[in-house]
Amino acid sequence: MSLPPKLNPPNRTLLGPGPSPVSQRVLQALSLPVVGHLDPEFLKIMDQSMAMLREVFQTKNRLALPMSGTGSAGMETCFVNLLEPGDAVLIGVNGVFGTRMVDVAQRCGAQVDTVEAEWGTALDPQQFRTALAKKKYKVTAIVHAETSTGVLQPLDDIARLVHENGSLFLVDAVTSLGGAPVRVDEVGIDVCYSGTQKCLGCPPGLSPVTFNERAVEVIRNRKQKVQSWYLDLSMIEKYWGSERVYHHTAPISMNYALHAALRILLEEGMEASWQRHRQVHETLVREMRKLEVEPAVAESIRAPMINTMTIPDGTDDARVRQRLYDEFNIEIGAGLGPLKGKIWRVGLMGYGSRVENVELLAKALKQLI
């Protein structure tokens, strides 16, 4: 064969739903020398990353580690480890990722019930109250920041109702972690997963998860083995814990990147990072209003890191996004499902959450709409 040209990807400004821009510091970490997955120096890095993940998740949970794989691997890790065939699960569905949770749980053989809300609106705690009063659920799961709609789901009321039922509370924080308060212990989240490519400012490739002792106990008391060998936490724990038993070859370079990214986030501070995401989001809303582009979601439930904006009437959605690529090197996201052609999704996540990026986008859109 004739060889393809050498790699030369464009240097885009990533303002879509993820991946988000990656800082030089994180990119440099990716190019550090690769060591073995049982090298004593790598084991130290693993311990440090677990400690930093606990800070970022705001938890004292012993089990906090990055699964190899993207956010969906984190989602699947939570469901396959907790569920056995026939178990009852309640899932909130108001977008793509709640829908994906249902699919994953059904593949585990679980009996899935849903609480649904129109895409672009929040799930109603009252509906959880009603559902939870009727049946005992092993797990109740919701998405914190629904990336397909831009809704930031309030957690506290649902967490309380879930615990009154004795159910485990499982939260998808793929998009929210680092960009808005997740506070695993304070809210009462039993199981949580995230992804590296959003507000953590890494490339895609790892999925941090945390399980509290109640959830770990559920894994210990399983009747059957976890159906997925690769995602079985009872084995993975033995690699990340003190036993250091080989399970799979950890993606060394991605773990360096995560270590660097967590360090950057904690240097800034969680509160400061949340505040920055909020302020940059507010700047975007102001700038877009000048162009008569309005937010698609009610103010009280807007996710600051994933901004859904209503496409103005008469604007050619696909053409604007293509011209943003071609002429401005900027990526923004299209609407999905029922929101296709109706909204743009502007990600201001992690290292990408900066006023300069809002200005860049506003200047470009001014010429395109």
Ligand X SMILES: Cc1ncc(COP(=O)(O)O)c(C=O)c1O
Q: Binding residues for ligand X, per CB under 6 A?
A: 17-18, 70-72, 75, 97, 143, 147, 172, 174-175, 195, 204
Residue closer to ligand X by CB (options 147, 167) is: 147
| Both tokens assigned to 111 | 């009996």
Smallest distance, ligand X to C-beta of residue 66, A:
12
Exposed / middle / buried, residue 159 (Cβ in 10 Å: 0-12, 13-18, 19+): buried
Residue closer to ligand X by CB (options 97, 137) is: 97
Smallest distance, ligand X to C-beta of residue 289, A:
26
Residues 6+ apart with CB under 8 A from 299: none
Exposed / middle / buried, residue 235 (Cβ in 10 Å: 0-12, 13-18, 19+): middle
Smallest distance, ligand X to C-beta of residue 100, A:
7
Smallest distance, ligand X to C-beta of residue 144, A:
8
Residue nearest to ligand X (CB): 71
Residue closer to ligand X by CB (options 198, 287) is: 198
Residue closer to ligand X by CB (options 140, 147) is: 147
Rg over alpha carbons for the chain, rounded to the nearest Å, is 21
SS3 35: coil
Summarize the chain as % helix, strand, coil (round to 5).
45, 15, 40
Smallest distance, ligand X to C-beta of residue 337, A:
13
How remote is the C-alpha of 108 from its chain's centroid? Answer: 21
Smallest distance, ligand X to C-beta of residue 253, A:
17
Cα–Cα–Cα angle for 243, 56, 349, rounded to 5 degrees: 125
Exposed / middle / buried, residue 225 (Cβ in 10 Å: 0-12, 13-18, 19+): exposed
Residue closer to ligand X by CB (options 57, 287) is: 57
Smallest distance, ligand X to C-beta of residue 101, A:
8
CA nearest to 123, candidates 92, 167, 160, 162? 92
* 357: enclosing H helix or E strand: helix 355-368
Residue closer to ligand X by CB (options 349, 365) is: 349
Residue closer to ligand X by CB (options 75, 141) is: 75
